[in-house]
Structure 1
Amino acid sequence: MNKLLFCRYNMDTNRVEARFTDDSAVSIDCTAIEDEYGNSPAQRAELDWLLYNKPLEYAQLVLGGEIEHYLSLGCDHGRLED
């Protein structure tokens, strides 16, 4: 997979739209991700925080298969702060 170039959260469709360096694109259904991995209110809140504040990191975690591991570490979005 090519490097992610751009991501944005689209509130109207509840999707993260990602574009890659090769100009391909993907749209991530956030409702499906939340239904699959948001097993607690804290996890759902963490997913929402990522959507609004770090959509690129959200996309990288989902596409890289790391979202479940990220959420299992405990919901502390400060881990992604620089």
Structure 2
Amino acid sequence: MRLIYADYNPQTNSIDVTTFENYILRIDCNKAENGLITTPCSQNSLNTLAIDEPFEYARLALDGEMQAWVDAIDSLEVW
């Protein structure tokens, strides 16, 4: 599946991905983030990623790399 467009849908809190074949895939952000270990900082970063860079959010969710991304954000926190 070749992804060509992704958009955040605030009404459903999801990422709507339109593929090259004109299919629409909806990624529920609540389900994608279920089970992730986050801090307030990394949760805020995830929310920002979904809204500002939905294509990257979709890639992380589909590739199963979301926890690694969250861990990297948390390691950058300055106390």
Indicate the TM-score class for this superposition, using the shorter chain for normalisation.
0.7 to 0.9
Contact residue 7 and residue 55 of structure 1 kept, 8 A: yes
| Code of the aligned partner of 2:34 | D
Q: Give TM-score, length-normalised by structure 1.
A: 0.79
Contact residue 16 and residue 51 of structure 1 kept, 8 A: yes
Indicate the percent of aligned positions where both proteins have the same amino acid.
Answer: 27
Alpha-carbon separation, structure 2, partners of 1:23 and 1:73: 34
Alpha-carbon separation, structure 2, partners of 1:38 and 1:21: 33
Aligned to 1:15: 14
| Code of the aligned partner of 1:45 | N
Aligned CA RMSD, in angstroms, stands at 1.6
Residue 5 (structure 1) aligned with residue 11 (structure 2): no
Q: Which runs of 5+ in 2 are unaligned?
A: none
Q: Which runs of 5+ in 1 are unaligned?
A: 77-82
Aligned to 1:44: 43
Residue 25 (structure 1) aligned with residue 7 (structure 2): no
Q: Following superposition, which runs of at least 4 residues in structure 1 exceed 4 angstroms of deviation?
A: none
C-alpha displacement of 1:8: 0.5
Q: How many residue pairs align between the two structures?
A: 75
Q: Give TM-score, length-normalised by structure 2.
A: 0.81
Contact residue 6 and residue 17 of structure 2 kept, 8 A: yes
